[in-house]
Structure 1
Amino acid sequence: MSTKVNEYLAERQRSAASPEIAHQWVELEDLYTKKLWHQLTLKLKDFIQDGGCSGPNELFEMYERFLSDFEHRINPLSLVEIVLRVVGDIKDPSKAIEFLEGIGAKVKGSLEAAILCETEIGTTKLECGDLVAVKALIRSTGDRLETVDTVSFIHARFYNLSSRYYMLTSAHAEYYRDALRYLGCIEMDDIPVEERRDRAFKLSIAAILGDGVYNFGELLAHPILSSLQETEHQWLVDLLYAFNSGSLPKFYELRPRWESQHDLVQSEAKLLEKIRLLCIMELTFTRPSTNRSIPFQVIADASQISLKQVEFLVMKALSLGLVKGTIDEVKQLVNMTWVQPRVLDLSQIQGMCQRLDEWSKNVKQTIHMIEDHSPELLA
């Protein structure tokens, strides 16, 4: 055992706040003496988690005088997990980043440990307002994260960082994507109720404002949205359902509520275009596959635009890849052949079930007809 480590452990045992903590320091010393590095790592993580080093600078001192002596012998990812606690003792952000960069150099042989370390560096830089550096880090680290096979808390920490960055830069679509990814990496019960409501509110706004976001089903099916039920922001859930179904009447009905949100008012023209595009998607989806020739007048009535504007709106939907089909200007028809897949809400699933039932009946009728006429066909 190192003499310096021995002196440190003896000091900690004498100055422990309670006999129980003193006993835990004795256990740590015993594991260190026996060179049981794995058991020592687990014990140290639990000890720190339970507040064994809760005094000012105690965690950083523990690292410098104890952990640094055997850090090269333990699992790199576990080392970074412990270091994430230690770095909280460093009040100067520049020194915290320098410390983390030093740890990063030591664990660079482990992809997950390196990513976790880089994510913490990015978090510190974000809190300092260095958005340019955070953007570059998210891009480089995100590419490396894609190569990690299993989803873990490392993904959660990275997506929390990236979603916070996109929120600060008003990148609504990117925030929506990564905030949902973050929620997919954690348990809902681990999020306090107030934070759930805040995240649900921001996710809803981002979904509505996000460029290229035409699929609301995943958010509507997520349990976090229930945190807005029976609150002052219940209208946001109703607005999401209006967009998801392309309902212009519901959109205007909710106008007195969404006008209280400055971002939505400023983007009213953009919101109208989005909900009209979703209206075309819904019209295509709800029609039987054998009858997807939609008259211009039907589209105009549903999307509340003039006949002259229908062709432009349909061309916009075609160019975005939301639907596929052709426009017959002479017959004033749009012949749809495909609509972009999306996550469905319960009412849409019920509608699909009804269409499947109808399709099944038609198939059975066709089978019976063939059976009835089979003698004639064979003859």
Structure 2
Amino acid sequence: MNSKVEAYLTAKKENSSAELSKIFGEMEELYNKKLWHQLTLALLGLVKEPAMRQGTELISLYTNLIAELENKVNPLSLAQIAGEVITQHADPNEAVTFVERIIPKVRDHQEARVLSNVLIAQVTLSRLEDQARTKKILDETEKLLDEIDGVTPVHGKFYLLASELHCRTGAHAEYYRAALRYLGCIDLQDLDEEQRVKQAFYLGLAALLGEGIYNFGELLAHPILEALKGSSSEWLRDLLLAFNEGNINKFETMKPQWSTQPDLLAKENQLREKIRLLCLMEMTFQRKAWDRQLTFGEIARETGLPASQVEGDGDEGPVTRAGEGDH
């Protein structure tokens, strides 16, 4: 046994609680028998132990034990362990440097490399507050992510961080797409009730405020919206239904509720434009395929717009026939 490792494990066995002492004793046995897979699993469990999450215990664990095993530990597990260790680095730049030192050791494992980049981007966004650098890292990492087959937990971590970045920059449409992808990578039951309500609320806002988002069907069918039932934000689901139906009257009657949300109130004009367009699209697709001409009067009546605004330059007669694509 490496003398450094031996001294560390002995000290932890002698100076830890009975439960933790037992864990370190088992790890010592695994180390001596060179059972690297079993030892890796034990380490993944150890870094989650409350006693190890105090002070700089994880940094000490890495320095005295894991650093000696880096070439024996599964690369993805090594990156996962690094994600726990950096939470104890007080200096965010030290945390970034720590992960950067690990990247060469996991470079040949695509998931581990992606996770390492995500960890750096996470520190860069949340602790260094450098949005531009975070975006650059994520843009580069997405290319690596696209090369991974299937959906992995690493995909979830990537899209969660991407959604957090878009949320901070106010990029509603980008947030909406990233957040939906994140939810597609996880089991909703892994989120507590507060997290589910938060995800549902922000997704709903992003759908309403996002430029170019006119199809609410995917979100309305998503089980995440069930989290809004019984919450103080239950009205948001009703508002989404109103937009999905192009129901302008319902939108107007709900103003006392949605106007309490500052982002929606600030974009009131854009919201009206969106729901009027959805109303027009709904009017069109409710008609038979061979009868999709709408008069100015019909549009004015359904959208609540003055006839002069509908007619534009004052031409009379039916509106140009609507297209027959998706809406």
Which band: TM-score by shorter chain? Answer: over 0.9
- The runs of 5 or more residues in structure 1 that have no matched partner are 313-328, 342-379
Residue 296 of structure 1: how far off its partner (Å) = 3.2
Q: Give 1:203's aligned residue.
A: 203
* 1:29 has 2:15 as partner: no
- The runs of 5 or more residues in structure 2 that have no matched partner are none
Are the aligned partners of 1:97 and 1:121 in contact in 2 as well (CA < 8 Å)?
Answer: yes
Identical positions, percent: 41
Are the aligned partners of 1:296 and 1:334 in contact in 2 as well (CA < 8 Å)?
Answer: no
* 1:117 has 2:109 as partner: no
Question: Mean alpha-carbon deviation: is it higher for 24-33 or for 207-216?
Answer: 24-33
Residue 308 of structure 1: how far off its partner (Å) = 4.3
Which letter does structure 2 place at the counterpart of 1:242? A
Are the aligned partners of 1:295 and 1:334 in contact in 2 as well (CA < 8 Å)?
Answer: no
Query: What SS does the corresponding residue of 1:338 show, helix, strand or coil?
Result: coil
Residue 330 of structure 1: how far off its partner (Å) = 6.8
In structure 2, how many angstroms separate the alpha carbons of the residues matched to 1:252 and 1:331?
Answer: 29
Query: What SS does the corresponding residue of 1:230 show, helix, strand or coil?
Result: coil
Return the structure number with greater strand share. Answer: 1
Which letter does structure 2 place at the counterpart of 1:109? D
Q: Give 2:233's aligned residue.
A: 233
Change in Cα spacing, 1:160 to 1:292, as seen in structure 2 (3 Å) is: same
Question: Mean alpha-carbon deviation: is it higher for 54-63 or for 65-74?
Answer: 54-63
Question: Mean alpha-carbon deviation: is it higher for 164-173 or for 1-10?
Answer: 1-10
Which letter does structure 1 place at the counterpart of 2:156? A
Alignment of 1:1-379 (within 5 A): 1-18=1-18, 20-51=19-50, 53-127=52-126, 128-310=128-310, 331-340=317-326
Which letter does structure 2 place at the counterpart of 1:42? L
Residue 53 of structure 1: how far off its partner (Å) = 2.5
Which letter does structure 2 place at the counterpart of 1:29? E
Which letter does structure 2 place at the counterpart of 1:6? E
Superposed CA offset, 1:261-288 (max 9, x none): 2222221111111111111221222223
Residue 337 of structure 1: how far off its partner (Å) = 4.0
Residue 52 of structure 1: how far off its partner (Å) = 6.0
Are the aligned partners of 2:216 and 2:244 in contact in 1 as well (CA < 8 Å)?
Answer: yes
Question: When the two structures are superposed, what TM-score results if normalisation uses the length of structure 2?
Answer: 0.93
Residue 331 of structure 1: how far off its partner (Å) = 4.6
In structure 2, how many angstroms separate the alpha carbons of the residues matched to 1:310 and 1:47?
Answer: 67
In structure 2, how many angstroms separate the alpha carbons of the residues matched to 1:76 and 1:118?
Answer: 14
Residue 100 of structure 1: how far off its partner (Å) = 1.0
In structure 2, how many angstroms separate the alpha carbons of the residues matched to 1:293 and 1:70?
Answer: 72
Are the aligned partners of 1:285 and 1:339 in contact in 2 as well (CA < 8 Å)?
Answer: no
Residue 295 of structure 1: how far off its partner (Å) = 3.0
Are the aligned partners of 1:284 and 1:339 in contact in 2 as well (CA < 8 Å)?
Answer: no
Which letter does structure 2 place at the counterpart of 1:159? Y
Residue 246 of structure 1: how far off its partner (Å) = 0.8
Change in Cα spacing, 1:51 to 1:260, as seen in structure 2 (3 Å) is: closer
Which letter does structure 2 place at the counterpart of 1:204? G
Question: When the two structures are superposed, what TM-score results if normalisation uses the length of structure 1?
Answer: 0.81
Residue 170 of structure 1: how far off its partner (Å) = 0.7
In structure 2, how many angstroms separate the alpha carbons of the residues matched to 1:139 and 1:264?
Answer: 29
Are the aligned partners of 1:193 and 1:227 in contact in 2 as well (CA < 8 Å)?
Answer: yes
Q: How many residues align?
A: 324
Residue 229 of structure 1: how far off its partner (Å) = 1.8
Which letter does structure 2 place at the counterpart of 1:235? W
In structure 2, how many angstroms separate the alpha carbons of the residues matched to 1:210 and 1:232?
Answer: 23
In structure 2, how many angstroms separate the alpha carbons of the residues matched to 1:292 and 1:196?
Answer: 41
